[in-house]
Chains A and B, each alone.
Chain A
């Protein structure tokens, strides 16, 4: 939460000395609140007040960049508790834990499969983000696996190793890729913190409760490590959701800097469905990195789709390319249904047209992503825009009839549209669900 001018005023010397160039401290405070001047202009400000004000200028949850080149991604910098308030900004990274004792063949197979986990949905490319290499008490395995991963995947990596001398060797292999280190604990934070500092790497901090986390992030910050990610360890799902919610609230509602870092969770489930349910719960509720083991296509597709949904901007709906879409084995006799380019409108109509099994054209009119009624009210979906879209898509060359089907809710457009387009307008059902029956009765 940003400080108001009055809040800032309370922190100033209140001497109205004019050294800052403004007439009063209050005026200076107001300018500070607007970020129109810098705090250094005040020569008499106390160090505490300066720290407070500087901390206020930072995002409440630290923005952290993972990886170096291809696949690089950012997490953190979130500003709200609920996605309807404002867009959730940086989609949670989905990573895969690879045990270093699986053997070269198996590891290579997994990496190959992970490399293929890319999906296109509603015009966006959905991708996985991270490979986590898990140490199992054999230095050789860990280093060999690290090398295998470096050579066979371009994703950012996370090194999970409790033996810090082994970890250091792996870091030296991988340093170009800016690996994320796992993990700092009460026992090892000074040593692993030194590694993170030496190589300028982000670090996961693990502690069961938020008091211990607070203490650890404080210690690490004091030695100069501030790209931190928080993990509250292995717990039942209800407790994890509580922890993640609490961390987000601490950062946003109390501006608690010690906990203003993104969160990481490890999902430990063998069953793919259970793993997906838990992973998606953490995506919805505030985790910024989720580590799983499963690599089945359908499981990953479901998780990434949920992530896409949750991180969609609520103010800026997903849109599709406005154009004429042939559905099924269309012919020049096929009916033409008109809708908007709001993804949900289009895909709902699409689903019903498909289930009708009647080959049809869907014309998606550019309504800047607005739904039918909203676009109609905003004059983005009217006789003029529809006619323009019909012409642009060369509808007359595609069909040999003169009929257009419009959504039932905009029946009022019929007259104007007939006049402007020269087509005959048939008013379709109000709800997409009525499309199959409507199309069947059309002839």
Chain B
């Protein structure tokens, strides 16, 4: 007597977003990174295609981080004071496939760098490292609207992933991303309807849905992780059931959230496991691109991902 397996038949496919452009594609990246493209729930390989594994981007800043706990700082040492050396260490020592640079130094409270300085920084970073870039603003809407167009323009043709567009501030960023051939991060506050709405607004401006990555925002392990977990799961179920406006890959800012947790500051082990489990749990529910901080956590999660995909 053979048991009939229960298989889900999905009609939707998550869009494939390529980050980085090599010479043939008009950029200068040594490698490119593809995320998304799956037609199955996470890690269920037997009922759909999962062509791309989840990818980890190392988070770096354009300015020395002020609020990073010692457990995290000590993993990098002095290079934190020099963003280019920091980027170099991530790529050459920790073998980062891509970097996520946060333009924190442009924030009015943290350096207030002007658009020219920001653009120059991105241009130098693109020279220094050859991996694809995710570029995000400081989170100050008004300032980001000045800075991000400059960063986008100077990286024209490099097919970066740029963010974050939000519901009441997306037009400037979308225009830049359209003009300069990048992809965009659409951020929504743990809300599937806003995520959907924002994707529609962005695509209405002419940027195709295939160039959007959703940042649903997350909570760390023990700090609302379950909300993000279920939002990813629900959005992914909707997308696989045919809702094209939610069929975008997900980016999760894991490091940023995990290292804010009280537990993460107890000692290095606590911090690393907090970042690690936040990351792997979100992979379980749909994360495609994880922005992480601690090199050991990245190493552990990479090994975990590879265990699924190295066949």
Contacts and interface: CB of A to CB of B under 8 A. Distances in A.
* A-B complex is real: yes
Interface of A: 82-84, 121-122, 210-211, 214-215, 236-238, 241-242, 245-246, 249-250, 253-254, 256, 258-259, 271-274, 276-278, 280-281, 284-285, 296, 298-299, 301-303, 305-306, 308-310, 312, 314, 343-344, 347-348, 351, 354-355, 433, 436-437, 440
Given A238-B307, A242-B45, A314-B226, 19 more contacts: A82-B233, A82-B237, A83-B230, A121-B222, A211-B2, A214-B3, A237-B307, A256-B3, A259-B3, A276-B276, A281-B280, A303-B277, A305-B222, A343-B224, A344-B223, A344-B224, A348-B223, A355-B67, A355-B260
Contacts of B230: 82-84, 314
Nearest to B283: A281
Given A274-B300, A302-B273, A280 B223 contact: no
B255 to A, nearest CB: 15
The 5 A-B pairs with the shortest beta carbon distances in the complex, nearest first, are: A249-B6, A344-B224, A309-B226, A84-B230, A305-B222
Contacts of A306: 221, 225, 277, 281
A301 B263 contact: yes
A433 B139 contact: yes
Interface in B288-310: 300-301, 303-304, 307-308
B142 interface: no
Contacts of A215: 1
Contact of B43 (A122, A241, A344): A241
27 contacts: A83-B233, A121-B222, A211-B1, A211-B2, A237-B308, A242-B44, A250-B6, A273-B272, A276-B277, A277-B280, A281-B280, A281-B281, A281-B284, A284-B281, A299-B273, A305-B222, A305-B277, A308-B222, A309-B225, A309-B226, A344-B223, A344-B224, A344-B227, A351-B223, A351-B260, A354-B262, A355-B260
Contacts of A84: 230, 233-234
Contacts of B222: 121-122, 305, 308-309
Contact of A277 (B233, B260, B304): B304
A50 B276 CA distance: 51
Contacts of B229: 83, 284, 309-310
Contact of B221 (A82, A302, A437): A302
Contacts of A211: 1-3
A356 B40 CA distance: 43
A305 B221 contact: yes
Nearest to B300: A273
A298 B270 CA distance: 5
A354 B263 CA distance: 13
Given A211-B2, A237-B308, A83 B226 contact: yes
Contact of A301 (B6, B234, B270, B308): B270
A238 B308 contact: yes
A277 B43 CA distance: 14
Contacts of A301: 263, 270
Contacts of B84: none
Contact of B266 (A259, A298, A433): A298
B150 to A, nearest CB: 23
B7 to A, nearest CB: 9
A433 B67 CA distance: 12
Contacts of A236: 307
A426 B148 CA distance: 31
A84 B285 CA distance: 12
Interface string B64-97: 0001000000000000000000000000000000
Given A306-B221, A306-B225, A273 B273 contact: yes
A236 B45 CA distance: 13
B263 A250 contact: no
Interface in B205-231: 219, 221-227, 229-230
B220 to A, nearest CB: 9
Contacts of B307: 236-238
A256 B46 CA distance: 21
A245 B225 contact: no
A214 B139 contact: no
A238 B276 contact: no
Nearest to A280: B277
B284 A284 contact: yes
B274 interface: yes
B223 A347 contact: yes
A433 B107 CA distance: 13
A75 to B, nearest CB: 20
A330 B233 CA distance: 42
B269 interface: yes
A284 B308 contact: no
A242 B41 CA distance: 11
Nearest to A126: B222
Contact of A246 (B5, B234, B260, B300): B5
Contacts of A354: 262
B46 to A, nearest CB: 6
Given A84-B234, A259-B3, A310-B229, A242 B266 contact: no
Contacts of B233: 82-84
B270 A277 contact: no
B281 A351 contact: no
Nearest to B299: A273
Nearest to B266: A298
B261 interface: yes
Contacts of A280: 277, 280-281
B24 interface: no
B109 A276 contact: no
Nearest to B222: A305
Nearest to B261: A351
Contacts of A254: 4, 6
A437 B266 CA distance: 25
Contacts of A284: 229, 281, 284-285
A254 to B, nearest CB: 6
A116 B311 CA distance: 40
Nearest to B223: A347
Contacts of B262: 351, 354
A85 B208 CA distance: 31
A6 B219 CA distance: 45
A301 B272 CA distance: 13
Most chain B Cβ neighbours within 10 Å, of A299, A301, A305: A305
B109 A309 contact: no
A367 to B, nearest CB: 16
Nearest to B269: A298
